[in-house]
């Protein structure tokens, strides 16, 4: 089904603008609160059929979103039209995850309509804050990788870079987490249950994606042979667009998400014969492809459904990209001039083989020319060096599910190994290491190698990570292609993570630095000269305190724990993973608690340890760490001796919206991964931008944050990546560290003895055993150094002037971590594209 509709003006030939304005039904500008109130009310009544007097918060949210969507869609159509007329190159961002969160305030901010909307809703008798909270989070991602994709979409729109994001419209995104008796319980998150007012169904963009079957060789008229894939099964990819508006409404892009269904959803004969289940069985099977988000971002899938998801969305997206290119009247040879396709991790790497298939089999392009086009279009971002997270697929599965792609991969691999041999990489061991096929654990396709070889640029996401890519996993490929690997350090969008999450601080920054700070992150550096200014400090303290009161209220409502907003808020929120070392933090909390109990009057800094994060459902050790944190919390929080000095809080269901509340209330940001394991981190950037000080290892982007905020304004501790590598090579004996550290030994002993699991002293045995025997994440090795860094934190906290000076210098130094900077680098170094001029 590749029906090319002439009604859609993005398919008009590139020869010129269509007659008349780009948006024929240009919306009347909103000039007053009354105009906007009436537009919202019209949606409530005419689009939703609801009565103003009985409308719920959800109804108002939907009416408002629909009214806003009209505005955004108008921008998106216009941006698309301009792109086409200008013959401007487009960027396609392929990602299996987009962790978007809510869109309402983001849209209002970028359209500059927040004030107007508050007033209009007020006149309608609705409450802005409650309406805002009625929007469910779009949680189509696990963590950092998916959130990066969402920040990048917003920045690309803000920089007017014509971009389309492609992904899967999961019916159930990331699970909702509840904590019952300390244990994580996963519940499906039904974010689409009440409909999604932002999205627009695009039936004319649907296409059918094949799986399985066989490959036939057919002879051409000129004697050559051609391969034709006859899939055994087709799944329909159904297109849904969400418009993405950029800052100050300069430009709008779209996020196109595919959902799956059967080509023939109902077998009427079976239904009429009374076989109601059999009648829809094909549809149920097809729909499973877009049913759930794969639960982990760091373990190999091993499941056919995951490979189906990857191919499904990659193939639908490529189909769409080629369709647009041809419909605009270009030759396929020009594809690299018109389309930059970014692979966010290896999940869409099969797109490289699919592009070759489309060009060679479908369009008759010669193999070498097809390869030139493919490499010219694709580039790949690597997100992890953890060996267990480098994606590979069994050859047998690939042959069964994607037989033609497996043939193509074999041929690409032969070409690639031949070229390597010609460059001197001829030894068996080098050839084995360079091969797209891993022969060491059964035969498996290495998706990272396929992505590397098929891309003109491969990037890491922080300076450290990119260096390690060159030295470790991609070493041999790097020697072969020394110019291919490049670094683009991650970034975050300041619109969401500063302007929207922390309006108090934003107001203060505008007062002090002027409006320019809203458009140019480098203006933040102007704060450096004011770091010692007592007036600024007083206002910053007031603003942080208000944010902490808001978070304390939430904690009180959700958990019934009373927090002192004047205590140091020490925050560790992110996915639960052993390498992120929440365990190190909670061990230190236990040891601190023991120390306070021993000497309650020793002048301790009151502290609140705040945790949040989800563990993959199948990741037993991470789930157990969640239980430990919760069990430790219930003992410590009920200890009258320490109750004014130490609290431990685990907030359930960490997501983007919760992060937006927690981060502006943080004094201390925990970024304590085992060095060499966190590729970049973006949570670290959100905190530092909002003025929290970081306690962290020399890992990922922490290193660059240190360079920009100044080594005196960050608490660095622990082994370096190089030292970690040595420890791991030499074999590591945690007993020595435990024996050498009475504080650590005491904490482990308390956990092992059942202090936090009364009546069940073996509950945490897997954690205690791991620490005592293998300690793969070097928790015990870094414990003393971490505890010492925490004492430096407490000392600085007592010196109020010094603390707030450092806080100002953190915000001041974070300009370079805007995702606008990151997208600017991708555009220049990788995509070779500029912003669209108006």
Ligand X SMILES: *Cc1c(COP(=O)(O)O)cnc(C)c1O
Shortest distance, position 579 Cβ to ligand X, whole Å: 10
Nearer to ligand X, 231 or 613 (CB): 613
Shortest distance, position 297 Cβ to ligand X, whole Å: 10
DSSP conformational letter for 27: P
Name 88's Cβ contacts closer than 8 Å, sequence gap at least 6: 82, 162, 833, 836
Residue 584 binds ligand X, judged by CB under 6 A:
no
DSSP conformational letter for 260: E
Nearer to ligand X, 497 or 756 (CB): 497
| Catalytic-residue membership of 609 | no
Nearer to ligand X, 231 or 460 (CB): 460
Here the tokens at position 224 are: 């050559």
Nearer to ligand X, 154 or 328 (CB): 154
Secondary structure of residue 568 in the 3-state scheme: strand
Site string for ligand X, 205-224 (x = CB under 6 A): --------------------
**Burial grade of 195 (CB within 10 A; 0-12, 13-18, 19 or more):** exposed
Q: Which stretch binds ligand X (CB under 6 A): 141-149, 246-254, 391-399, 459-467?
A: 141-149
- HEC-encoded secondary structure of 292-327: ECCCCCCCCCCCHHHHHHHHHHHHHHHHHHHHHHHH
**Would you say 709 and 733 are in contact if contact means Cβ atoms under 8 Å apart?**
no
Gyration radius of the chain over CA positions: 28
Residue 147 binds ligand X, judged by CB under 6 A:
yes
- Give the binding-site size for ligand X (rule: CB under 6 A): 13
Question: Distance between CA atoms of 705 and 831, rounded to whole angstroms?
Answer: 26
Question: Distance between CA atoms of 583 and 768, rounded to whole angstroms?
Answer: 11
Quickly list H helices, 673-825: 683-689, 702-709, 721-730, 734-740, 742-753, 765-773, 779-798, 800-813, 819-825
CA distances from 791 to 242, 275, 797, 798, 807 (A): 48, 69, 10, 11, 18
Question: Distance between CA atoms of 785 and 638, rounded to whole angstroms?
Answer: 29
**Burial grade of 669 (CB within 10 A; 0-12, 13-18, 19 or more):** buried
Nearer to ligand X, 144 or 815 (CB): 144
Question: Distance between CA atoms of 80 and 256, rounded to whole angstroms?
Answer: 14
Shortest distance, position 120 Cβ to ligand X, whole Å: 30
Nearer to ligand X, 609 or 686 (CB): 686
Shortest distance, position 489 Cβ to ligand X, whole Å: 13
Task: Give me the residue whose beta carbon is nearest to ligand X.
Answer: 683
Q: Which stretch binds ligand X (CB under 6 A): 143-151, 340-348, 530-538, 584-592?
A: 143-151
- Span 786-815, contacts to ligand X by CB under 6 A: none
Shortest distance, position 183 Cβ to ligand X, whole Å: 21
| Catalytic-residue membership of 575 | yes
Which residue in the set 144, 165, 173, 676 belongs to the binding site for ligand X (CB under 6 A)? Answer: 144
**Would you say 210 and 316 are in contact if contact means Cβ atoms under 8 Å apart?**
no
Q: Which stretch binds ligand X (CB under 6 A): 40-48, 447-455, 649-657, 807-815?
A: 649-657
**Would you say 255 and 165 are in contact if contact means Cβ atoms under 8 Å apart?**
yes
| Catalytic-residue membership of 475 | no
Name 515's Cβ contacts closer than 8 Å, sequence gap at least 6: none
Quickly list H helices, 495-608: 503-513, 534-559, 582-598
Shortest distance, position 591 Cβ to ligand X, whole Å: 24
Shortest distance, position 568 Cβ to ligand X, whole Å: 20
Residue 659 binds ligand X, judged by CB under 6 A:
yes
Nearer to ligand X, 137 or 283 (CB): 137
Nearer to ligand X, 481 or 686 (CB): 686
Question: Distance between CA atoms of 435 and 321, rounded to whole angstroms?
Answer: 29
Positive or negative, the Cα torsion across 326, 329, 330, 335?
Answer: negative
- HEC-encoded secondary structure of 451-492: HHHCCCEEEECCHHHHHHHHHCCCHHHHHHCCCCEEECCCCE
Here the tokens at position 683 are: 């949570």
Site string for ligand X, 667-706 (x = CB under 6 A): --------------xxx--x--------------------
Catalytic pick among 107, 384, 682, 780: 682
Residue 383 binds ligand X, judged by CB under 6 A:
no
| Catalytic-residue membership of 829 | no
Shortest distance, position 441 Cβ to ligand X, whole Å: 29
Site string for ligand X, 558-577 (x = CB under 6 A): ----------------xx--
Q: Which stretch binds ligand X (CB under 6 A): 217-225, 622-630, 651-659, 814-822?
A: 651-659
CA distances from 169 to 7, 341, 581, 750 (A): 25, 20, 32, 46
Which residue in the set 136, 143, 752, 815 belongs to the binding site for ligand X (CB under 6 A)? Answer: 143
Secondary structure of residue 576 in the 3-state scheme: coil
Shortest distance, position 547 Cβ to ligand X, whole Å: 16
Catalytic pick among 88, 404, 405, 580: 580
Helix (H) or strand (E) holding 572: strand 568-573
Residue 614 binds ligand X, judged by CB under 6 A:
no
Nearer to ligand X, 715 or 764 (CB): 715
Which residue in the set 655, 674, 694, 755 belongs to the binding site for ligand X (CB under 6 A)? Answer: 655
Shortest distance, position 121 Cβ to ligand X, whole Å: 27
Catalytic pick among 574, 581, 609, 805: 574
Question: In which region does residue 226 sit, left (phi positive, over 0), alpha (psi from -120 to 50) or beta (all else)?
Answer: beta
Shortest distance, position 686 Cβ to ligand X, whole Å: 6
Number of neighbours of residue 620 by Cβ within 10 angstroms:
11
Nearer to ligand X, 314 or 490 (CB): 490
Catalytic pick among 478, 686, 706, 763: 686
Nearer to ligand X, 146 or 734 (CB): 146
Shortest distance, position 682 Cβ to ligand X, whole Å: 4
Shortest distance, position 508 Cβ to ligand X, whole Å: 23
Angle at 553 between CA 505 and CA 537, to 5 degrees: 30
Catalytic pick among 71, 88, 147, 383: 383
Name 525's Cβ contacts closer than 8 Å, sequence gap at least 6: 812, 813, 815
Name 270's Cβ contacts closer than 8 Å, sequence gap at least 6: 278, 279
**Burial grade of 58 (CB within 10 A; 0-12, 13-18, 19 or more):** middle
Angle at 283 between CA 281 and CA 284, to 5 degrees: 65
Catalytic pick among 147, 236, 261, 575: 575
Nearer to ligand X, 184 or 682 (CB): 682
Nearer to ligand X, 615 or 744 (CB): 615
Binding site residues, ligand X, CB under 6 A: 143-144, 147, 574-575, 654-656, 659, 681-683, 686
Q: Which residues are known catalytic residues? A: 383, 574-575, 580, 682, 686
């Amino acid at each position: 089904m590749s029906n090319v509709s002439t009604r859609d003006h993005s398919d008009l030939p590139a020869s010129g603008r269509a007659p008349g304005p780009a948006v024929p039904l240009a919306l009347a500008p909103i000039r007053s609160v009354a105009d906007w109130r009436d537009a919202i009310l019209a949606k409530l009544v005419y689009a939703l059929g609801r009565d103003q007097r009985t409308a719920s918060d959800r109804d108002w949210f939907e009416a408002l979103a629909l009214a806003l969507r009209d505005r955004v869609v108008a921008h998106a159509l216009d941006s698309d039209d301009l792109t086409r007329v200008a013959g401007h190159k487009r960027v396609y961002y392929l990602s299996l995850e987009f962790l978007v969160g809510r869109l309402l305030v983001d849209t209002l901010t970028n359209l500059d309509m927040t004030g107007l909307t508050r007033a209009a809703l007020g006149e309608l008798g609705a409450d802005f804050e409650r309406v805002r909270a009625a929007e469910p989070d779009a949680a189509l991602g696990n963590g950092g990788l998916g959130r990066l994709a969402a920040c990048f979409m917003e920045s690309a729109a803000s920089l007017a870079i014509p971009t389309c994001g492609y992904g899967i419209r999961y019916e159930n995104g990331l699970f909702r987490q509840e904590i019952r008796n300390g244990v994580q319980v996963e519940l499906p998150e039904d974010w689409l249950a009440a409909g999604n007012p932002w999205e627009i169904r695009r039936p004319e963009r649907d296409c059918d994606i094949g799986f399985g079957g066989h490959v036939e060789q057919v002879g051409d008229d000129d004697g050559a042979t051609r391969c034709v894939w006859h899939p055994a099964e087709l799944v329909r990819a159904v297109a849904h667009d969400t418009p993405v508006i950029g800052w100050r409404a300069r430009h709008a892009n779209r996020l196109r998400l595919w959902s799956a269904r059967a080509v023939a959803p109902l077998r009427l004969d079976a239904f009429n014969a009374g076989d109601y289940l059999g009648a829809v069985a094909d549809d149920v099977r097809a729909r499973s492809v877009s049913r759930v988000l794969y639960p982990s971002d760091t373990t190999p899938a091993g499941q056919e459904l995951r490979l189906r998801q990857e191919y499904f969305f990659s193939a639908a997206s490529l189909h769409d990209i080629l369709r647009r290119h041809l419909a605009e009247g270009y030759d396929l040879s020009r594809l690299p001039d018109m389309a930059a396709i970014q692979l966010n991790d290896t999940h869409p790497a099969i797109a490289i083989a699919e592009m070759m298939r489309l060009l060679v089999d479908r369009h008759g392009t010669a193999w070498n020319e097809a390869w030139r086009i493919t490499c010219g279009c694709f580039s790949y971002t690597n997100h992890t060096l953890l060996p267990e997270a480098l994606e590979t697929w069994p050859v047998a599965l690939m042959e069964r599910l994607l037989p033609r792609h497996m043939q193509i991969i074999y041929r690409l691999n032969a070409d690639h190994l031949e070229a390597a041999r010609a460059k001197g990489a001829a030894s068996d061991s080098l050839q084995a290491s360079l091969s797209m096929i891993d022969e060491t654990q059964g035969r498996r396709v290495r998706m990272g190698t396929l992505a590397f070889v098929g891309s003109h640029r491969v990037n890491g996401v922080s300076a450290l990570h990119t260096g390690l890519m060159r030295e470790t996993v991609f070493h041999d490929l790097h020697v072969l292609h020394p110019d291919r690997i490049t670094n683009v350090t991650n970034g975050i969008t300041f619109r969401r993570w500063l302007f929207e999450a922390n309006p108090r601080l934003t107001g203060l920054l505008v007062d002090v630095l002027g409006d320019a700070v809203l458009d140019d992150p480098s203006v933040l550096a102007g704060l450096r000269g004011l770091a010692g200014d007592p007036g600024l400090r007083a206002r910053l303290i007031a603003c942080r305190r208000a944010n902490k009161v808001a978070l304390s209220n939430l904690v009180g409502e959700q958990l019934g724990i009373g927090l002192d907003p004047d205590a140091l808020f020490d925050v560790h929120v992110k996915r639960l993973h052993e390498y992120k070392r929440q365990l190190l933090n909670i061990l230190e909390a236990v040891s601190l608690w023991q120390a306070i109990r021993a000497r309650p009057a020793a002048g301790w800094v009151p502290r609140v340890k705040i945790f949040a994060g989800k563990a993959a459902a199948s990741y037993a050790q991470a789930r157990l760490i969640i239980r430990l944190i919760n069990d430790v919390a219930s003992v410590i929080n009920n200890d009258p001796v320490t109750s004014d000095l130490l609290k431990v809080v685990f907030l359930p269901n960490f997501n983007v919206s919760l992060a937006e509340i927690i981060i502006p209330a943080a004094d201390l940001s925990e970024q304590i991964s085992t060095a060499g394991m966190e590729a970049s981190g973006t949570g670290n950037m959100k905190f530092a931008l909002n003025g929290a000080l970081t306690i962290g290892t020399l890992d990922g982007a922490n290193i660059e944050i240190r360079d920009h905020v100044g080594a005196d304004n960050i608490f660095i501790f622990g082994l370096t990546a190089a030292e970690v590598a040595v420890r791991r090579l030499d074999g590591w004996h945690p007993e020595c560290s435990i024996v050498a550290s009475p504080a650590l030994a005491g904490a482990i002993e308390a956990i092992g003895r059942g202090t936090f699991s009364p009546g069940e002293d073996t509950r945490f045995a897997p954690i205690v055993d791991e620490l005592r025997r293998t300690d793969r994440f070097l928790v015990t090795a870094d414990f003393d150094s971490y505890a010492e860094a925490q004492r430096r934190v407490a000392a600085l906290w007592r010196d109020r002037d010094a603390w707030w000076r450092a806080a100002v210098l953190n915000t001041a130094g974070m300009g370079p971590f805007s995702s606008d900077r990151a997208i600017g680098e991708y555009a220049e170094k990788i995509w070779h594209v500029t912003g669209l001029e108006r």
